C-alpha cells in the first residue's frame, strides 16, 4: 500500500537513487543538562545511553563502530553500498569544534559515506560549529536533528529539557542561513500533562512557524532507570493506548505540509528496559494501524492545512 505521507525511505531513494543505511554511532558526547552546563540529571525520559540503546558496539572506537554496524545491516540488505553516518545519542555538538571535527572525521570520510546526520540540541550549535557543518554540506548531505520534544515551556521544565522553544526557533534560522543543511525536529507524543490538542499544537508550531525540512514523531517510552519513572508511579504520567497514539499521529499528519519529510512516526525501545506502553514493541502493527486509519479517513499528509 502506498503511504499517505512522505516517508524518509522514499525521500532518500529519490535523492540518492538507491536504498541507503543510516549508521548509528556513539561518539562519546554528553549533554549540557546532564553535565551541569545548563542543568543536572538529563531529560527525565532519557536512559543512561542517551537514546542510543540499539547501537551494536557503543564502546568500540568510532571507526570500528561504523564497520560493525554496516556488517550487521548487510545481513538483511547485502546490496546497500552507501551510508549516512548518524551521530545519534546524547548531544553530538556538545564539545569544542576541534573535538567535534576529530570525532566526526573518524567515520564520515570512510568509503561509501555520502552524508551525516547529527542528533543535537538547539543550545549546542555555536556559529563556528554551524560554519563547519556548512563546509561539510558542500561535500556531502548534512542533516541536523534538533531535539525539541515539546513547544510548551511548562512541559520543558517538567522534563528538565533546559532550553526554550524560542531558542529552538532562533537556532533553526541560524542553520537555515545555509540552505544545504537540512533541519529535522524531534517531538515526543505522550509527555506528562500534555493533552491531545497540545500534541497537535506542538506539530503545528514546529512545522508552520519554522523552516524545517523533516520531522520525527516519537511515542514516549517509559524506560527503567529514568527519572520519569517517579512521574508514572506518582500518577503524573498516563501512558497512551495504541488507539490514542494512532489518532494523534493521524491528526498530526493531516496538518504537516506535504513537502516536510516524515522521518519517523513511532520508535523502538529495548524490550528488557521498557516499562510501557508494551504495545509499542509491535512496531509494524502500529505502522499498519496508522496506514489503515489514514485510509479510513481518506486522509493525506497536509490535507487539513488551510
Residue pair 42/31 in contact (Cβ under 8 Å)? The answer is yes
Residue range 282-294, pLDDT digits in tens: 999 999 999 999 9
pLDDT on residue 54: 62
Q: What is the pTM of this model?
A: 0.94
Element (H, E) at 70: helix 62-74
What does the pLDDT read at residue 151?
97
Name the band, by pLDDT with cuts 50, 70 and 90, for residue 270. confident
Interior/surface letters 199-213, b for 16+ CB within 10 angstroms, e for the rest = bbbbbebbbeebebb
Amino acid 53: pLDDT: 52
Residues 71 and 89: their CA atoms lie apart, in Å, by 20
Higher pLDDT, 247 or 306: 247
Nearest to 197 by CA among 158, 163, 244: 244
Q: Report the distance separating Cα 268 and Cα 204, nearest Å.
A: 24
What is the mean pLDDT of the segment spanning 160-184? 96
Identify the bridge partners of residue 216 per DSSP, sorted by sequence position. 186, 264
Please state the φ and ψ torsions of residue 218, each to the nearest 5 degrees.
-110, 145
Segment 195-206 mean pLDDT: 96
pLDDT reading at 147 higher than 80: yes
Spatial separation of the C-alpha atoms in residues 241 and 127, rounded to whole Å: 42
What domains lie within the chain, and their CATH numbers? 6-295 (3.30.750.200)
- Can you read off the three cell numbers belonging to residue 122? 538547539
d(CA 211, CA 204): 12
Cis amide linkage into residue 192, ω under 30° from 0:
no
Nine cell digits for residue 212 = 524545517
Contact 141, 133 (CB under 8 A): no
Which is higher by pLDDT, 162 or 213?
213
The confidence score (pLDDT) of residue 237 equals 87
For residues 117 and 87, the answer to whether their CB atoms sit within 8 Å is: yes
- Rounded-to-10 torsion of CA 194, 200, 205, 210: 120
Q: What per-residue confidence (pLDDT) applies to 29?
A: 93
User: What's the average model confidence in pLDDT over 225-231?
Assistant: 86
pLDDT at 1: 66
Confidence band, pLDDT 50/70/90 cuts, at residue 213: very high
Bridge partners (DSSP) listed for residue 25:
87
CA distance 301 to 306: 13
What is the grid cell recorded at 258? 506535504
Of 161, 98, 97, nearest to 130 (Cα)?
A: 97
Amino acid at each position: 500500500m502506498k503511504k499517505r505521507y512522505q516517508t524518509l525511505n522514499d525521500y532518500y531513494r529519490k535523492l540518492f537513487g538507491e536504498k541507503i543505511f543510516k549508521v548509528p554511532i556513539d561518539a562519546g558526547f554528553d549533554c549540557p543538562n546532564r553535565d551541569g552546563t545548563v542543568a543536572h540529571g538529563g531529560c527525565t525520559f532519557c536512559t543512561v545511553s542517551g537514546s542510543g540503546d540499539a547501537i551494536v558496539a557503543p564502546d568500540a572506537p568510532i571507526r570500528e563502530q561504523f564497520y560493525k554496524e554496516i556488517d550487521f545491516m548487510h545481513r538483511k540488505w547485502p546490496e546497500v553500498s552507501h551510508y549516512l553516518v548518524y551521530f545519534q545519542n546524547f548531544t553530538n555538538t556538545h564539545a569544542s569544534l576541534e573535538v567535534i571535527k576529530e570525532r566526526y572525521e573518524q567515520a564520515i570520510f570512510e568509503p561509501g559515506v555520502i552524508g551525516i546526520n547529527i542528533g543535537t540540541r538547539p543550545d549546542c550549535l555555536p556559529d563556528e560549529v554551524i560554519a563547519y557543518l556548512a563546509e561539510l554540506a558542500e561535500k556531502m548531505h548534512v542533516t541536523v536533528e534538533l531535539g525539541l520534544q515539546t513547544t510548551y515551556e511548562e512541559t520543558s521544565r517538567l522534563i528538565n529539557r533546559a532550553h526554550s522553544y524560542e531558542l529552538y526557533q532562533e537556532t533553526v534560522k541560524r542553520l537555515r542561513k545555509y540552505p544545504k543543511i537540512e533541519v529535522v525536529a524531534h517531538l515526543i507524543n505522550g509527555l506528562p500533562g500534555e493533552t491531545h490538542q497540545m500534541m497537535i499544537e506542538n506539530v503545528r508550531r514546529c512545522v508552520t512557524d519554522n523552516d524545517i525540512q523533516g520531522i520525527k514523531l516519537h511515542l514516549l517510552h517509559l524506560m527503567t532507570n529514568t527519572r520519569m519513572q517517579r512521574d508514572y508511579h506518582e500518577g503524573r504520567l498516563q501512558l497512551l493506548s495504541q488507539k490514542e497514539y494512532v489518532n494523534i499521529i493521524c491528526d498530526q499528519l493531516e496538518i504537516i505540509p506535504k513537502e516536510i519529510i516524515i522521518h519517523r512516526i513511532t520508535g523502538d525501545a529495548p524490550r528488557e528496559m521498557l516499562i510501557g506502553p508494551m504495545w509499542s514493541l509491535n512496531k509494524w502493527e502500529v505502522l499498519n494501524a496508522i496506514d489503515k486509519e489514514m485510509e479510513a479517513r481518506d486522509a493525506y499528509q497536509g490535507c487539513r492545512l488551510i
